[in-house]
Every structure is written in C-alpha cells, then in structure tokens.
Amino acid sequence: MAQWTSAVGAPQLARLLRSQDPRAAELTANGRKLPAYRGLADGVRLLVLEGRVPVAARLPAERELAAAVGVSRTTVAAAYEALRAEGFLESRRGSGSWTAVPAGNPLPTRGLEPLPPEAAGSMIDLGCAALPAPEPWLTRAVQGAMADLPLYAHTHGDYPAGLPVLRQALADRYTARGIPTMPEQIMVTTGAMGAVAAICRLCTGPGERVAVDSPSYANILQLMRDAGARLVPVALGERLTGWDLPVWRQVMRDAAPRMAYVVADFHNPTGTLATEDQRRRLVDAARSAGTLLVVDETMTEIVLDPDTELPRPVCAFDPAGSAVITVGSASKAFWAGMRIGWVRAAPDIIRSLVAARAYSDLGSPVLEQLAIASLLANGGWEEAVAIRREQARENRDAIVGALRRHLPDWEFSVPRGGLTLWTRTGGLSGSRIAEAGERLGVRVPSGPRFGVDGAFEGFVRLPFTVSGAVADEAVVRLARAAQLVATGVAPAEAGAPHAFVA
C-alpha cells in the first residue's frame, strides 16, 4: 500500500516554490551561490516545514516537475536524492515519492494542556487561547440558573439531547442568523471537544481518512489521532487567504476522506476568515465527494474589528442538511470554564448522536446549561461577548505592538477576529524557541503542535490572553529565547526566570 495520503501536482508545487521569499534564491554556501538542485531541495524542505506542502504528500514525477519548474530532470533527481538523504522524502518503486520528516524529529503528540496554577507566579502562559470569566455576567448567569434549578431537581437530570429550553434558544439564534433551525436539529454537548468526539465516534472508524485544515486546532487533531483517524492535511491558501479550493477538490477526489474538519471563522491558529464564495464551493465539493463537512464555529462571535462583515455560515449553503454539521461552544465567546457546546445538524443525525451518547456521558451538566440559557434569554450573552471582544482587541493590539518592537523580523498577518496570532519565527525553529521560552518564563506552543507529522517548524502561536506590561514582558522573553536559539546557546545556560507581577 502507498504511504502517501494526498498528492501535489507539478504546477501547484512550482507555484508554491515561486511564492517563497525571494531572498531564498540568494542563499550561498561559502560565498558561492547554491547549486540548482540544492536550491530546489531546500525550497521543498521549507514548504514541508512550513506546512504548505503536507507531510505524506506524493510529489510529482521528476520529468513533470522539471518541466513545470524549468530545470533539467537531472536537477530534480539530485534534489529528490538530497531530500531522501535528509529524511524529507521517502520513495517506493511503483508508488512514487512522498514527503516526510526526518526520523527522530519531535512530532506533535499532545494537545494544549492548561498551565498548573502554581506555576503562574513565574510563568507567562501563552499556551491556551482562553480569557478569564466576564464578570458580573458569570455570577448573574449562575444565579439565574439556581433560580430555575428547582424545576429540574425533581427529574432524573439526564438530558442526552440537552435541556429543551437551551435547545430552543440555540435554534432561535441560528434562525436569527438567517438559518431556519428547529430544536430537533440541536444537541447540547460538553464543550466543542465533546461535540467533535461524538461526531467522530458516529461518523468515522479507525483508519478512515479525515481531511483537516493545515494548520489546524491542536487539541482536535490529537482527539482524532486518538480515535484512530488517518489525518489528511490540506494547506490553507497563500498568505492565509482562506481555503485553497482546487487543493480541497483534489484531496476529496483522490483521498476520499469520510469526514473533513474546518474552521471558517477566525481560524485557530491563523485567524483566517473564509470568504462566502469559498464556503459555497467547499460545501459543493464535499457534497460531490460524499464527504461530511464538520464546521467549527467556536470563534465566530469574536469579531475584533468593528468593520468586519461576517459571511453567511457554512451551513447556509447546505439547506438539505446532508453535507454540513456545525459545532459551537460557549468556551471561547464566554468562558472556558463553562463547558457547554452544541451540534447543529439534520434531525436524523442528531437522533443518531443522541442514541450513541448513552454509551459515553449521558448528558451535559444541567446547571451549566441553565446558566447559558439564562444568558441567552436576558441579553447577558450579548453584553458579555461585547466585553470579551474589547478585551481580546486590547490584548491583540498589545501583542502586535510588542512583536513589532522586540521581534521586528517575525512575520504575521493581524487577524480581524478570534483569539490567536500565527507567527513566522524569522527562520528559527519554533520548537526550540518554545523550549527556550519555557525556561525563560514564557510558555508558547510551537507550530508543529498544529500540523500533521512535524510540519510548521518555523511558527509559534500567540493567543490574545495578556495585555499591557505582561504582553510586553512576554515578547521580551520570547526575543531572548529567539536570541539563544539563533546563537546556539543552550536554554539551561540562560538561568531561571524571575517572578513577574503585573
């Protein structure tokens, strides 16, 4: 069996190579210009490390790539041989050659676990994209839930589909967004992670292919790995302009994934906002291929720039409900400690999810469901989300300003929403910066956590969770970590971090 899960055509690879930083063509060795094969090999290697060409993607035949790039076949053959020698390419007679990462490289095997509270005194935590609870709205919501709780205390308390009052409130919100929805199309879950886990259990089996954005949300990737899914990464469009629809169509045709997981609104980690035309075309492609499209909307309400107009939801382009399942959550828009999520899908899919839930968690906590229902009913949700947007906007601007002062060679696009900044680390290893940063008192997740099999080594993700002096200090520590990595100094030699109090 071939070891590749997707393919990169010769025209596409040539286009990606041409889109790289023009300075790459001026690389020299001992004062001399690199040989053509070395430049080609380095270009492909960089595309793999940045995640723009997925790991386990079949590369074009030597003759095809030579014609597309405008070099000799001998040059391509030498480049491929160099990549094989370095561990970035594997080949098998009859199956072609496909991208890889060198044996022994650290691969992303965990999600993004919260920092222990006892470490907060000396560590600035930029690991989790979550903000403190908005007050007084959290307290008011819990008080409203307590007032309503006696109505439910005389029942068994298990509501596998969710409390009827909350299902109705969520259905009404979709209807208000222009997507007519009945309560029968809603299932309340224990967070968005619980929603995606339930969908995976119902719709995929071990070894089945699942297409994912590349990069994508680290915890969901790990959840799918643990479920036995075979992940097929699909790179985002150039300069983070949304989805690359020709590539998506090719992956759905060639790899035939059973399911696809995407984030259309303020993508985690890149902040990308997919256009309305991209949404329509992706739904058409999924429907044609028989691929179930799971759309994560957890960041939808975190609009940071007031002039940003959100496109219609992805499910608006699937009126029959046969191709799209939508996942939402209160964790990002309100508070991560409020573990309430939901699924919107066709009624028959919801019934199947509810039936299968009897073998997992039976239902979400009644008190937390009542708290969210109370927020939605009394206008507290809109007020809390408005405060959340203001906090995230202030934090975003603080992080961006600090990066421009202390790390001017790091590259990023300022997102118009969401909670994360995807940052290219000036040609340095994101994994090494993360390791050095933790020793210096700043915790960041490196790019490979958000890729499949070691991609995105040259990136880190920075969430909008700190502001003011804390944001500046966090970037100062990152700059020190980057300096250590650039000079080859072991992080342990830098000494322990000092306590920081904001």
- Report how far residue 87's alpha carbon sits from residue 356's, in angstroms, rounded to the nearest whole number: 43
User: Tens digits of per-residue pLDDT, 288-337?
Assistant: 999 999 999 999 999 999 999 999 999 999 988 889 999 999 999 999 99
Ranges of beta strands (E only) in 386-481 are: 420-424, 442-443, 459-463
> What's the pLDDT at 178?
94
Token couple for 105:
């490289």
Cis amide leading into 215 (omega within 30)? yes
> What's the pLDDT at 149?
94
- Name residue 183's amino acid: P
What's the predicted TM-score (pTM) here?
A: 0.83
Q: Which residues of the chain have pLDDT under 50?
A: 1, 21-31, 106-111, 493-502
- Report how far residue 333's alpha carbon sits from residue 130's, in angstroms, rounded to the nearest whole number: 9
Distance from the Cα of residue 320 to its chain's centroid: 27
- Report how far residue 191's alpha carbon sits from residue 145's, in angstroms, rounded to the nearest whole number: 18
Got the DSSP string for 36-76? HHHHHHHHHHHHHHHTSS-TTEEPPPHHHHHHHHTS-HHHH
- Name residue 23's amino acid: R
Give the gyration radius of the chain's Cα atoms: 24
- Report how far residue 348's alpha carbon sits from residue 321's, in angstroms, rounded to the nearest whole number: 10
Which distant-in-sequence residues (6+ apart) come within 8 Å of 131 by Cβ?
335, 336, 388, 391, 392, 395, 419, 464, 465
The count of residues in the chain is 502
> What's the pLDDT at 1?
38
Question: What is the number of other CB atoms lying within 10 angstroms of the CB of residue 238?
Answer: 12
Token couple for 461:
């993700």
- Report how far residue 54's alpha carbon sits from residue 198's, in angstroms, rounded to the nearest whole number: 27
Give Dmax over CA atoms of the chain in angstroms: 81
Question: What is the number of other CB atoms lying within 10 angstroms of the CB of residue 120?
Answer: 12
Within the chain, how many helices (H) and strands (E) appear?
Answer: 16, 17
Q: Mutual orientation of helices 10-18 and 62-69 as an angle, nearest 10°? A: 40
